[in-house]
Structure 1
Amino acid sequence: MRILLVEDDPDLAAVVALGLRGEAYAVDLAATFSEAEELLCSGDFDVACIDLGLPDGDGMELVRRLADDPLLRRPRRILVLTARDAVADRVAGLDAGADDYLVKPFNFRELAARLRALNRRADDPGAVLEVADLRLDLASHRAWRGDRELRLTPREFSMLRYFMHHPGRTVSAEDLLEHVWDSQANPFTASVRVILSRLRRKLGEPPPITTIAGVGYQLEEES
């Protein structure tokens, strides 16, 4: 899952981003309204976590614009992170288009749980993906091939989830870098190849993910 974190406090942004990356989320950071606009014009995000008190604008206006501005690519879900704790502020945020509202200071475990809940909601109907003999439970972060449970790391789980959202489609290494890692990832890194190799070993034979020479990789839709 790729997350845009819009937060002007550099210390809080660094701590939250570190924690989210530890959960194998891809995280891009924006410290201002204008930086967030730029990223939302060019990138696709699963969730945007938006602080309201930004130095060059009100994050609430950004939430409103995401609902109807054709220049901005609306994330699948929006989570407001703010110190504004009045009921009127919460109502205004949800009415503006936010899917959830979390007041600072917050516990990171609660943020992670809310993101998992938003992710399940975005994956409706149901929180289980099935492609051929592969099954992925998004709520419990468990995976199976047939009757055999797979022991996947968070990054392997995220990569398999991306493939299972796009069965039969050729996925490039750049696609995986963008959606399983984030904009800080080195485009020349061997990380994609390393993680994919480990994932294939765990999936076993016959290999459900095939290589399309010179193009990328493909998850077979039938076993």
Structure 2
Amino acid sequence: MNKKLILLLAFALIIISSSTSYATFTTGTGKHTFKLETFKPDPKYDLQSFLVGFGINRQSSINLRLTDTDDSSQALNYLAPYYYQMKGSKDNTSTGTTDNNFYAVGPILEVMYQYIPTHPLFVNPDSLNALQIGLRNLRGDSKVSYEDDTASEHVNRTYLMIGLLSRSRWENYNVFSNMNLTTDLAHNSWGFDGQVGIEVIIKGNFKAEIGYKYMGTTSGSASGATIALKVDY
């Protein structure tokens, strides 16, 4: 992983652990949340993420998430709404096909702010709903392959995320869902990701989650199962 991102996360953990915070949508029954999640979009590949969340007040929270993408051989077009669309070269016969793919290098960093409006549509005895806005940073390479000819260009882009999250308010388990629109406004490009699942209390503030996630852009899509371990304290 990139050293600067690790230092940023470590600094955030120090602040979170020493701050006075509140239980919110993310943090649930505790004031802070740590969550490890594995998303398997392909039988031979998975994305592992680590989320840290803390409540600012009773209606809002900040979340930081790092997603590991160490396998640079996997095309992750479904993560990037826009990356450099380079043109492949063609021979005199103009035959064959051109492939343009995005390959991530290093972790994906997401910074998200959640807010729970007080309207009954968002807060009621059976469910809790929140609005989310954030940024997703992707670094990697846009690679074009045409027969035996390959060109590559580095990508370092930050995308805007807007989302809606929902979960039930039951005792021993909860169902949850979330959906996010991701956009690169400069290039009018869009992406979407959504997840549904169930959260079960293992013991105390330790919880397990299992779900199904879909991610897609105009360049590709992927879906698969998710499994996570979450700790609120």
Normalised TM-score (structure 2)? 0.25
| Higher strand fraction (1 or 2) | 2
Normalised TM-score (structure 1)? 0.26
Higher-Rg member (1/2): 2
| Higher helix fraction (1 or 2) | 1
Higher relative contact order, structure no. (Cα contacts within 8 Å, ≥ 6 residues apart): 2
